[in-house]
Amino acid sequence: MPTTYARTSASTGPASGGVRHRRPRRGVVPLLAQLVIWAGAAAVLALWWHDTTSVAGPAEWLTGAGRITGLLAGYACAVLLALMARVPLLDHTVGSDRLARWHALGGRCTVSLALAHTLLIIWGYSLTARTDVVSQTSTLVLHYPDLLKGTAGFLLFLATGVLSARAARRRMSYETWHYLHFATYLAVFLTFGHQLATGADFVGNRVARAAWYALFLGVAALVVRYRFLAPLRRGLRHRVRVAAVHPEAPGVVSVHLTGKHLDELGGEPGQFLRWRFLARGLWWTANPYSLSAPATPGHLRITVKAAGSHSAALARLAPGTRVWAEGPYGAFTADRRKGAKVLLLAGGVGITPLRALFETLPGQVTLVYRARTAHDLALRAELDAIAARRRATVHYVVDEPAGYSSPLTARGLSTLVPDLAGHDVYLCGPPGMTRAAVRALRDAGVPGRRIHHESFAF
């Protein structure tokens, strides 16, 4: 089953033409982003410190801790929205999956801080008023300005946090999970008003109020621009439509798209877009699918495996269906490579972004494509043609029949790819395969900084 072509010496340009855009250095922007986030948190703590002259007794300690956690929770809300605003600078340098991990970690911290704020404030106020926590809770919620709205916002945050837990996510579709998260916009709006109305650090402090307004209005502007206005502008400019749908393997289809100036929309090989097909049952959600071929001015292509109701419905798309595309997103591009030798390691439909990279990456490139059976190898004729044209190496590894399988271990990969430790590795496949591949690559001596992968799991 393995198919091998003679290798070529490293070249100095991409295998096919295309304009390369200079980007900020990948290592600099993530570091700066983290520094800005932590500097903002320090400024929030400085605000509390400036407004607090002294703390004495359990009630004041509890109330002070409640103020701190409330301030940090409010600030964290702004950070969470900024991380998911799909700002191109962050998305193309930090990477969509890394931003998603930061967002998930920040979400857990935000819910924890909001919960701590609620409990600490109730406890501290009950000690001050010398009443029980139940009575104090009723008094706060029903009689303090905007606290009823703040309570509703907190409950929305809490519900979103519970539904975002891994066990809950496994039981719902991507579309359901995605739209439930829109409730966080309402939660932020409700808690923002509560914080300014009753927060001790904002009442009477015009500078602090102005800074808080500037923070949230700035984040809101980013969200509106990049999540709503940019897709609308691109849809009107590029006029994307479905041209044809072709089967590639069992349950796998390629959707060919036409439009205007699509090379500007399509971005670079390895990136993905969020596609909204204006057809019955599909128009209400935008799902992420990678480009499976380099973009041209009049043509884009995605290759999709039926893994849910949305992806399965793409096989039934009619030519002429209008499409709105958001993006491009992701940092899974040629900019990640550190050296001249590259291994592309694909599993199943993970071949999609790697097929585009296989055609365009410069240097010495080897492709290892793993699938369950030979019938599941999508785009094989194209891969063979690319390998022959650029004198590259491609190995097909299948689980069935067993005689053509190869273990996903350090030894198995090293047998297929000599000098494996000297390669950059682009990895894309199911989560289980990806985890096993990362372990095997590290065991084979590939440094972690040279293993490149992005996860599209939600």
More confident call, 143 vs 72: 72
* 445 CB-near residues (< 8 Å, 6+ apart): 410, 420, 421
CB–CB of 73/113 below 8 Å?
A: yes
Which residues share a beta bridge with 67?
none
Q: Tokens standing for 131?
A: 């009443």
3-class secondary structure, 244: strand
For residue 175, the model assigns a pLDDT of 64
Can you tell me the distance from the alpha carbon of 71 to that of 201, in angstroms, rounded to the nearest whole number? 9
Can you tell me the distance from the alpha carbon of 43 to that of 49, in angstroms, rounded to the nearest whole number? 10
Task: State pLDDT tens for residues 157-204.
Answer: 888 877 777 666 666 666 676 667 777 888 888 888 888 877 788 888
Q: Tokens standing for 426?
A: 């682009």
* 409 CB-near residues (< 8 Å, 6+ apart): 440, 443
CA atoms within 13 A on the CB side of 237: 14
DSSP-derived secondary structure letter, 19:
P
CB–CB of 8/364 below 8 Å?
A: yes
Does the pLDDT of residue 220 top 90, yes or no?
yes
Residue 189 phi, psi (nearest 5): -60, -45
CB–CB of 456/288 below 8 Å?
A: yes
For residue 188, the model assigns a pLDDT of 86
CB–CB of 434/407 below 8 Å?
A: no
Q: Tokens standing for 342?
A: 């590259």
Task: State pLDDT tens for residues 395-430.
Answer: 999 887 766 677 889 999 999 998 899 999 999 998
Can you tell me the distance from the alpha carbon of 411 to that of 134, in angstroms, rounded to the nearest whole number? 63
Can you tell me the distance from the alpha carbon of 315 to that of 457, in angstroms, rounded to the nearest whole number? 22
Helix (H) or strand (E) holding 89: helix 88-93
Task: State pLDDT tens for residues 324-348.
Answer: 998 888 888 888 888 889 999 999 8
From 6-20, 105-119, 190-204, 420-434, the region with the lowest mean pLDDT: 6-20
* Bond preceding residue 401 cis, omega within 30 of 0: yes
Task: State pLDDT tens for residues 282-337.
Answer: 888 888 899 999 999 999 999 999 887 888 899 999 999 999 998 888 888 888 88
* Band (244; pLDDT cuts 50, 70, 90): very high
Give the torsion through C-alpha atoms of 186, 192, 198, 199, to 10 deg. Answer: 140
Residue type, 105: L
Question: How many CB atoms are closer than 10 A to CB 138?
Answer: 11
CB–CB of 324/235 below 8 Å?
A: yes
- Domain layout of the chain by residue ranges: 28-233, 239-329, 334-453
3-class secondary structure, 234: helix
Which residues share a beta bridge with 364?
341
Task: State pLDDT tens for residues 122-161.
Answer: 999 899 888 888 888 888 887 777 778 888 888 888 888 7
Can you tell me the distance from the alpha carbon of 373 to that of 391, in angstroms, rounded to the nearest whole number? 25
CA atoms within 13 A on the CB side of 234: 25
Domain 334-453 sits in CATH at 3.40.50.80
More confident call, 245 vs 149: 245
* E strand map for 250-406: 252-258, 272-277, 287-290, 300-305, 322-329, 341-347, 364-371, 393-398
Does the pLDDT of residue 10 top 60, yes or no?
no
Same topology, domains 239-329 and 334-453? Answer is no
* Band (103; pLDDT cuts 50, 70, 90): confident
Residue 425 phi, psi (nearest 5): -120, 125
Does the pLDDT of residue 15 top 70, yes or no?
no
For residue 170, the model assigns a pLDDT of 66
Query: Per CATH, which fold does 239-329 belong to?
Result: Elongation Factor Tu (Ef-tu); domain 3 (2.40.30)
For residue 16, the model assigns a pLDDT of 41
CB–CB of 286/310 below 8 Å?
A: no
* Band (25; pLDDT cuts 50, 70, 90): low
